[in-house]
Amino acid sequence: MADEKKGSKLRGWTDSAKKMLYGMAGHDMARYALKTRGSMEHLFILITMGDLLGVPILPPYYSLRLLPYVVPQISTWKRRMLRERDLTDALA
């Protein structure tokens, strides 16, 4: 009984330690990985669904096949595409 309690306490400690360690080192990396992945997702949608912005990139037959999977991302993607600027915007 006492052993079990001790064990769970120890587990609690190691869990907290792991979480702390994750917060210190891993969290940023995970965030970075997810952010990069997010950008790639948008790049992917641009390549496959470009005609939504008036940029036809590929034959539409197979892009329609992929459409159902990207439905939730379409609106955030469009917002991002229209928001992103490059250096030439600043010069203008």
- The residues of the shown chain that bind another protein, judged by CB under 8 A, are 18, 22, 26-27, 29-30, 33-34, 36-37, 40-41, 43-44, 47-49, 51-52, 56, 58-72, 74-75
Could you tell me the smallest distance in angstroms from the CB atom of residue 68 to another protein? 4
Our CB check for another protein shows the closer of 5 and 59 to be: 59
Yes or no: say if 46 and 55 are a contact pair by the CB < 8 Å rule: yes
* Nearer to another protein (CB atom), residue 60 or residue 81: 60
Task: Give the residue ranges of DSSP H helices in the chain.
Answer: 2-21, 27-49, 60-83, 87-91
* Beta carbon nearer to another protein, 6 or 19: 19
CA dihedral in degrees (32, 85, 72, 63; nearest 10)? -110
